Chains A and B, each alone.
Chain A
Amino acid sequence: MKKSEIDYGRRKFLKVSYIAGCALLADIYFPGCSSKTENKNRRDNLCAPDAWIKIGSDNTVTVIVNHSEMGQGITTAFPMIVAEELEADWSKIRFEIAPAAEIYKNPAFNYQMTGGSTSVRTSFNILRNAGATLRELMIAAAAKTWNAAVSECRAENSRVFHRAGKRSLTYGELIDKAANLPLPKNIPLKKPAEFKIIGKRMPRLDTLEKVYGSAVFGTDVKMPGLLTATVVHPPVFGTKLKRFNSGKTRALPGVRDVVVINEGIAVVADTFWQARQGMEALEVEWTKSSGENPDSEKISQRWAKLANKEGKTIYKIGDVDKFFKKNNNIIRSIYELPYQAHATPSPMNCTAQVRDNRCDIWGPTQNQDAVQEVASKITGLDYASINVYTTFVGGGFGRRISADYAAEAVQISKKVKAPVKVIWTREEDMQHDFYRPASYNVMQAVLNHKGLPVAWMHRIVGADHLAQRLPERIPLKMPYKTPRLLRNLTEYLSGKLVSPVMAGMHAKEGAVPLPYNIDNVRLNFVNDDPGIPLGPWRSVSHSANAFIVECFIDEIAALTGRDPYELRYELLSHDPHMRNVLELAARKSGWGKPLPDGIHRGISFHEYHKTILCFVAEVSVSRTGKIKVHRVVCAIDCGIVINPKIIEVQMESAVAFGLTATLKSAITIRKGRVKQANFDDFPILRMNEMPKVEVHLVKSTNPPTGIGEAGVPLIAPAVANAVSSAAGKRIRKLPINLN
């Protein structure tokens, strides 16, 4: 069905649609069978009364998930939410990843994107409503079949029962009748106390294919006539291709073409290995950069100077100046954060087939609308002629919100007139990321006679990732049928007008507002962009700012001889929910109780988009300065818990992901290029370095918040605070290096 044919007004979230008719994650992709018009006729045995749920005559329930599965468990959480209201038989639940379509835009951004831990938060009620509506529709269909009153019927386990269970029909048996009935309206949703599936440790629906090696990731896409390409990008940021000689490359077996694209140069071959050999044989000359090449050390020195500037005031409460002028009980510290790479386990990749009047794209994207937008720009096709099929994502962490790899696949396929799979080498992936911004931070606080901070000043020097990325994001918010010209103009103007104003607006996230009861707070931002490409990195600005804030709070505690937990407890007196989480972590970790020799504790507290967390880390430091994290206790209030098991492992995941950045790896810039290239110089946390993680959830009936990113900001400060106590010196830089 054409996206434009979807009637949004009539049935808000419920619509007739026969989307994703062919098995999206099948081994071989047949582009033809997913065409939107063909699917319209694929009624088969499927009843699809809305965009989110399909019921088959075999009584299977398929939940359409409009978020990418990158390990966070969304293809289990969404089906659980649906099944709860639908009264579905869990053993018959399936999932499909949604295609790109306007109805699937993420309400948090207004484009179809997986990020910001927004999926459950934004979809909870949409999915519950869809499930409840369909359940009532099934009941109505059964009642009609039996000539009975609706009130005499009830649904359970994908089946409608009449009265005391004398007669029953499965949902699958009811779909034909249901298809002709009007959709019931205004159905009350269950109260949390009535939940049977939500809150349970339901098994993940994506495990089976992942343990047999049959799960289809982007690199696993196959189709007849598929060529494989790999891309070389200009190693120095801000430079371009000057000239190249592809003679040796073209002479190699299997090499089909060498293609210049906007981002660099691509070698197209029958196989990846041939393309890679071809890439090595290429003789390429890049342009010289116009100015001085950025260099991490020099950037840091420049930022230290710029830190004397006032910068732009981004956030302000109370009157900070009054306190700083009058007081001399001031504490001041400098915190520095490096660039960070996403290092997704699967390097960037994407498959595209451009034909005269359509473009099909298969890949591990976190941002289907960005993929459509780049494809539309390159091919000139409108969104209705572009199809995006999302595979399993081999690690996202925010990297795949950009669509640069998709743009490359589309350009190459267009040029060579064949389906093309682009696979980057790890080296290209590491050196052409959109990095978590580095920053230089001046922290200052005025302490009162009790040693409590009464005024707080945070100055960030650096660049804001959103100021860089915003121009390409804003057009995604527009309706699908917006003409190209208007989209391009919007992008252009966003770059000119919005980006400069935005600088700092996102960099402040996680730094302010403080969770703590401090009446006078100001955050200033000194904008200085050295031109390193920036992007969201799991938990975005929070990953840096929680480290800074939480370590600085600990400094204040240390200076005033207070217990770090007690200080936070005092500063959270205004918020019982927050205090509750803090107390839970302290209790479960045995805060204040004696520890074995050589083990030290560190605490961190943070709020991430309404998810409240507290971590306590137990750490030891060897005589040679080697840091070992033994145990991490996490307390979380994330509202209604959908699946506790998934939250637990997401915390383990956050700890592991965050520890790599805390203890092991960073991106440094030397002479305008990234120094690191692979896992030998950007080491990833290993099994023997992984601490025990204990997770304690606060029982709550508040709406669910997010968990995919929420844990990441807390691990660095919890560990750094423990190391500070173990090593007797404050940690103000990551990754921690005691030597």
Chain B
Amino acid sequence: MLTLRVNGKVHHVDVDPDTPLLWVLNEQLGLMGTKYSCGIGECGACTVYVDGENTLSCITPAGDVEGMEITTIEGLKGPVADAIRQAWIEEDVPQCGYCQPGQIMAAAALLNSNPNPNDDDIDAAMSDILCRCGTYQAIRRGIHCAAKRYNHEKK
């Protein structure tokens, strides 16, 4: 039995502790927003936060994150998340949408640590999250737009 803290709730799950966190989220907890695409840590579709850090859930054994605070796209909340989502809606960032939970998690993490990212900062923070549909420039526009919105609201 593992005890996982996900999006502020405590779950007890009966699962092999080696099971990647991704599949526990999807299959035991029914949180489908975190996506499987490569399973080897190459694409970022499965990005979640563990104690606030970007983490690739497809290569993270669930047993390793017991008791830590896990946040998924479903639990991503707060002013930065709101600003990102609003910007994503304004810019219509998603195409197929499959990579977008990972993109949004990474973008929110970037904005949390750097409220005024320039293009290089965006490249550095976002280049590990692949988008086969090529929404990269839309993501860039989205992050700039979210930063503006967020910084404006803070004032």
Cα-based distance from A645 to B138 in the complex (angstroms): 11
Question: CB within 8 A of B132: which of A343, A645, A692?
Answer: A343
Question: CB within 8 A of A345: which of B72, B93, B99?
Answer: B99
Tell me how far the C-beta of B32 lies from the nearest C-beta in chain A, rounded to whole angstroms.
Answer: 4
Whether A210 contacts B127 in the complex (CB less than 8 A), given A653-B133, A690-B134, comes out as no
Tell me how far the C-beta of A349 lies from the nearest C-beta in chain B, rounded to whole angstroms.
Answer: 9
Q: Which residue of B lies closest to A346 (CB)?
A: B98
Report the stretch among A200-208, A578-586, A592-600, A633-641 that lies at the interface: A200-208
Q: Which residue of B lies closest to A650 (CB)?
A: B95
Tell me how far the C-beta of A643 lies from the nearest C-beta in chain B, rounded to whole angstroms.
Answer: 10
Residues in A lying within 8 Å of B, measured CB to CB: 69-73, 203-204, 206-217, 219-220, 222, 228, 253, 271-273, 343-347, 392-397, 423, 425-426, 645-646, 649, 652-657, 660, 678-680, 684-690, 692-693
Q: Which residue of B lies closest to A216 (CB)?
A: B32
B68 CB within 8 Å of chain A:
no
Whether A210 contacts B38 in the complex (CB less than 8 A), given A271-B23, A344-B132, A687-B136, comes out as no
B127 touches A686 (CB 8 A): yes
B133 touches A395 (CB 8 A): yes
Whether A653 contacts B134 in the complex (CB less than 8 A), given A71-B97, A345-B45, A688-B123, comes out as yes
B10 CB within 8 Å of chain A:
no
- Chain B contact residues, majority secondary structure: loop
List A contacts of B139 (CB < 8 A): 687
List B contacts of A660 (CB < 8 A): 132
For B31-68 the 0/1 string (1 means CB < 8 A from A) is 01111111110110100000000000000000000000
Q: What are 30 pairs between A and B in contact, CB < 8 Å?
A: A71-B96, A203-B89, A212-B73, A212-B74, A213-B104, A215-B97, A216-B32, A217-B35, A219-B35, A222-B30, A253-B16, A272-B36, A273-B23, A345-B35, A345-B130, A345-B131, A345-B133, A347-B36, A395-B133, A397-B132, A423-B36, A425-B39, A645-B92, A653-B135, A656-B134, A657-B133, A657-B134, A684-B43, A686-B130, A687-B129
11 more A-B residue pairs beyond the given contacts A653-B135, A679-B42, with a C-beta to C-beta distance below 8 A: A71-B94, A204-B92, A211-B93, A220-B32, A345-B130, A394-B97, A397-B132, A423-B36, A656-B132, A656-B133, A684-B43
B89 touches A272 (CB 8 A): no
Tell me how far the C-beta of B29 lies from the nearest C-beta in chain A, rounded to whole angstroms.
Answer: 12
Cα-based distance from A509 to B27 in the complex (angstroms): 44
List A contacts of B104 (CB < 8 A): 211, 213
List A contacts of B35 (CB < 8 A): 217, 219, 345-346, 394
List B contacts of A653 (CB < 8 A): 95, 133-135
Which has the most chain B C-beta neighbours within 10 Å: A207, A272, A343? A207
B126 touches A679 (CB 8 A): no
B98 touches A652 (CB 8 A): no
B39 touches A426 (CB 8 A): yes
List B contacts of A692 (CB < 8 A): 137
B138 touches A345 (CB 8 A): no
9 nearest CB pairs, A to B: A656-B134, A213-B33, A71-B95, A71-B96, A213-B73, A210-B97, A394-B98, A690-B136, A688-B123
Q: Which residue of B lies closest to A204 (CB)?
A: B92
B43 touches A219 (CB 8 A): no
B117 CB within 8 Å of chain A:
no
A203 touches B92 (CB 8 A): yes
Which has the most chain B C-beta neighbours within 10 Å: A216, A686, A693? A686
B144 CB within 8 Å of chain A:
no
For B113-135 the 0/1 string (1 means CB < 8 A from A) is 00000000011101111111111
Which has the most chain A C-beta neighbours within 10 Å: B32, B132, B135? B132
List A contacts of B88 (CB < 8 A): 207, 211
B95 touches A649 (CB 8 A): yes
A426 touches B38 (CB 8 A): yes
B3 CB within 8 Å of chain A:
no
